Amino acid sequence: MHHGGLHEDDIAGKAYDRRLMGRFAAYLRPHLKTILVVLLLLPLIAGAKLAQPYIVKIAIDGHIVTGDLNGLPGLALLFLLLIFGESLLTYGEVYLLQQIGQQLMFKIREELFTHLQKLSLSFFDRTSAGGLVTRLTSDVEVLGEMFAAGIITIVGDLLLLAGIVGVMLWMNSGLSLVTFSLLPILFFVVFRFRRLMRDAFRQVRSRLGLLNSFLAESIGGMAIIQLFNRQESERRRFTLLNEAYRDANRPVITWDASLYALVETLSSVAVGLIIWYGGGEIVRGTLSFGALVAFIQYSEKFFGPIRDLSSKYSVMQGAMAALERIFTLLDSEDGSTSLTNRETDPFTNAPFPVEVVEFRDVWFAYREEEYVLKGISLTLRRGEKLAIVGETGGGKTTMIRLLSRLYDIRRGSITINGVDIRELPLRLLRSRIAMVLQEPFLFTGTIASNITLGDDAAAARMLEAARVVGADRFINRLPKGFDEEVRERGNNFSAGERQLISFARAVAFDPEILVLDEATSSVDSASERLIQEGLAGLLAGRTSIVVAHRLSTIRDADRIVAIHRGEKREEGTHEELMAARGIYFRLHQLQFKG
């Protein structure tokens, strides 16, 4: 039921990738002024932090040790003001960064969703829905976290570290060198853990994508799981994926906790070294007690940012992987995207009535050279009703998918009024076509919103459209009428009611080409008769294509095309094909005289 191996969508990522960050910087340009304000706050915050231990030194050496308490209240007040100023500046920094982060996530999510809408169905055939959801949700959130708690705060940490090193060397170079003697060990540990965490984090992102894909597919297919009593087997599958995700997180937790503990240990050792060496300096009279206390405080402030480095590294690691995944999606194109983004065209603002639709030697394969259509040629003229029949999997639905460019043909061409549909903007092409599928799809919202899809012109035709197909009869009986709630996938309506709503949707958009793909298979006989009555008037003056299993619904078609194994085998009226006693005749006999 489910697809994809454990290493599906496996992107390792780096803690910092110049190429990715350069591309990400384009999203920061609208926020440069705010970022500049934050960057100006960082040295002020670092200065407030650096001044605090030195105030303590002055208080101890100049007043507490000497017994002169006159200036102590002023120093205490200054110390409190520094703490308050640091808190206020930090609040401003965090608030502004969070605001920018939210704006970035909003922009990137919109761009991703807009791009997804331009991709052909072949992209979604080979890409899991769960993986796409992960990109639009958790991957984008990681970018916001990177900006708010990663890349900018690292600049502040570096400023603070540089300031601490400078102040400590200025106060006492010998004691500073003793303190910094632990840095080679620290750098080795951080560098070593970086590689270990990179591999672990890669596994976490991969497992999360698989888990999301499984959940999306299982929840969507819950009815099948329950009907076939597959709850236990699906639970076992979920348990395996859930365990894989949990186990992938264990190394990350281990390395993160270990790095934090080691940095904490080295910080404590540094304090011990300061006390040992500084105590001797005090005895020899070359170091004051206040300076020793200040050194201890500076040491704690020095190791603080390094202690947080593991979490910030994880954020940056995840952000680079997320950027890689997001930009890979934004860069994805397939056969139908090369011309889909054109919104203006010589045809766009000109009258474009559909006079002739022609399939010319059309070949198509979903995979490699496994052709499902082979050399299909046919012509439809304005107002004609063409019916397509044939065995399941013969290529009937594929033909109408190609007409609306849900997929692009491999060989041959499809033209409207002599113009290849690949030369037409998709918006223009699809505005001429309305399609009713065998499995109607309803969105969460109301009946009205499902019929109009937010289109003002369709809204003006909604009531008449519902009346034409007979949907108004059951809609008007509902408590809220057209404002009745539609739950997820329309599961609060019967299959026939959902199909009637989808018929009304097609009529409301007033198409020139109407395509019905097994559209009456989910409708009961009474509803079908009602729809046929409405469609008789609807189809007048429109080119229509009807893919049907129920041959009774296409007896009045102007032409019937029989498709067999991807090839057009027969074409004619009902009477002509029955007289020919070929494929159509056999299908008719099986259905009505079984």
Domain edges within the chain: 18-331
Residue 536's pLDDT is what? 63
Q: Report the half-sphere exposure of 500 (CA within 13 A, side-chain side).
A: 28
Q: Is 519:503 a contact under the CB 8 Å cutoff?
A: yes
Beta-carbon-side half-sphere exposure of residue 17 (alpha carbons within 13 Å): 17
The DSSP code for 127 is S
- Report pLDDT for 133: 80
| pLDDT for position 248 | 86
| CA nearest to 553, candidates 565, 539, 567, 543 | 539
pLDDT of residue 526: 63
pLDDT tens for the chain, residues 1 to 594: 444 433 344 444 455 567 888 888 888 889 899 989 998 999 999 999 999 999 998 888 888 887 777 888 889 999 999 999 999 999 998 899 888 888 988 999 999 898 888 887 778 777 777 778 878 888 888 888 877 776 777 888 888 888 988 988 888 888 888 888 888 887 777 777 766 666 677 677 778 778 877 887 787 778 778 877 888 888 899 999 999 888 888 887 887 778 778 888 888 888 888 888 888 888 888 888 888 898 888 888 888 777 776 667 767 777 777 888 888 888 876 544 434 444 444 444 444 678 889 999 999 988 777 888 989 999 988 888 899 988 877 888 888 888 988 888 888 999 998 889 888 888 888 888 888 887 788 888 899 999 998 888 889 999 988 888 888 888 999 999 999 998 877 888 887 788 888 888 888 888 888 888 877 665 666 666 666 665 665 666 678 888 877 777 788 888 999 888 888 888 988 888 888 888 888 888 887 765
- Other CB atoms within a 10 A radius of the CB of residue 5 amount to 8
Structure token digits, residue 467? 């009346």
Residues forming a β-bridge with 400 = none
CA-CA distance, 539 to 533, in Å (whole number)? 11
Contact criterion met (CB below 8 Å) for 305 and 68? no
Taking the C-alpha atoms of residue 440 and residue 437, their distance in angstroms, rounded to an integer, is 6
Which residue is it, tokens 């009907």?
227
- Whole-angstrom CA distances from 48 to 85, 295, 502 are 7, 16, 65
Give dist(CA 574, CA 572) in Å, integer: 7
- Give this prediction's pTM: 0.71
Task: Determine the Cα–Cα distance for residues 555 and 360; give it in Å rounded to an integer.
Answer: 26
Q: Are 434 and 512 in contact (CB under 8 A)?
A: no
Task: Give the whole-angstrom CA distance, residue 421 versus residue 408.
Answer: 10
Say how far apart CA 195 and CA 44 lie, in whole Å: 34
d(CA 466, CA 462): 6
pLDDT at residue 225, rounded to an integer: 82
DSSP 8-state secondary structure symbol assigned to residue 202: H
The helix/strand/coil state of 54 is: helix
Give me the CATH code for the 18-331 domain, please.
1.20.1560.10
pLDDT for res 522 = 59
Q: Which two tokens stand for residue 437?
A: 């599928």
Distances (CA, A) of 130 to 3, 113, 121, 178: 11, 14, 16, 53
In b/e form, how buried is each residue of 175-196, taking b as 16+ CB within 10 angstroms? bbebbbebeeebeebbeebbee
Would you state the pLDDT for residue 311? 66
